[in-house]
Amino acid sequence: MTAQTSRTSRLAVYPGSFDPITRGHEDLIRRSLAFVDRVIVAVAVNAAKQPLFTLEERVALIREAVSEPKVEVRSFEGLLVNFAGEVGASVIVRGLRAVSDFEYEFQMALMNRNLAPAIETVFLVPAFDLTYLSSSLVREVARYGGDVSQLVHPAVHKALRRKFGK
Ligand code: PNS
């Protein structure tokens, strides 16, 4: 067997609420492709949250913001590790922006490892100027008419303006 044929394709899932996708998420998707062959952006149904955008809207906005053949966008319900197992992913990608993210992310990574030991969580650090960006801040600023055009893809900007009638 040659090195070429023995090499298996590495797939990551990048899960989240993506309500909506920001430039920070886009940055992490691009960074993931440096060490995996394909990324599935996995949009959580997340019954516990009341999202601004519907599941279908969030998926459609990601597809508009990220048009890259190595990236697929899917929604999932239930446990992330089950979804990762179904699609054959060996890596879960999450972003770590600040210390405040750490505890929740660490808990989640350990629980996911407990549930599925073969799946590794990899934390990525975002670009410097995107470190303090979050979907919730984008929603809040857009809700009150602030300018978020530098923080999201134009399709997302348009969708936010439509949502808030600004
Ligand atoms: O963007 P978010 O809201 O921080 O993403 C959180 C998400 C969707 C990754 C997390 O809530 C999740 O994985 N939900 C699926 C249900 C699950 O597997 N829960 C156990 C995680 S330990």
Q: What is the pLDDT of residues 106-126, one digit of tens each?
A: 999 999 999 999 999 999 999
* Annotated catalytic residue 157: no
Q: Whose CA is nearest to atom 4 of ligand 1?
A: 16
Q: What is the pLDDT of residue 4?
A: 47
Distance 5 CA to ligand 1 centre (A): 35
Higher per-residue pLDDT: 165 or 36:
36
Report whether residue 111 contacts ligand 1, using a CB cutoff of 6 Å: yes
Whether the pLDDT of residue 1 is over 90: the answer is no
7 falls in which pLDDT band (50, 70, 90)? low
Mean pLDDT, the chain, rounded, equals 93
pLDDT value of position 49: 79
Residue located nearest, by CA, to atom 7 of ligand 1: 16
For residues 42-46, average pLDDT: 92
Taken in order 88, 91, 94, 95, is the CA torsion positive or negative?
negative
Say what percent of the chain tops pLDDT 70: 95
Beta-strand runs (E) in 9-136: 11-16, 38-44, 71-76, 91-95, 120-124
| Amino acid 54: pLDDT | 96
- Which residue carries 């949009």 as its tokens? 43
87 CA distance to ligand 1 middle (Å): 17
| Ligand 1 pocket check for 51: Cβ under 6 Å | no
- pLDDT over threshold 60, residue 3: no
Task: Please report the pLDDT score of residue 28 as a whole number.
Answer: 97
CB of 55 sitting under 6 A from ligand 1: no
- Rounded CA gap, 40 and 19, in Å? 17
> pLDDT tens, 54-92?
999 999 999 999 999 999 999 999 999 999 999 999 999
What's this model's pTM, rounded to 2 decimal places? Answer: 0.94
Quick one: CA torsion of 38, 44, 50, 52, rounded to 10 degrees?
20
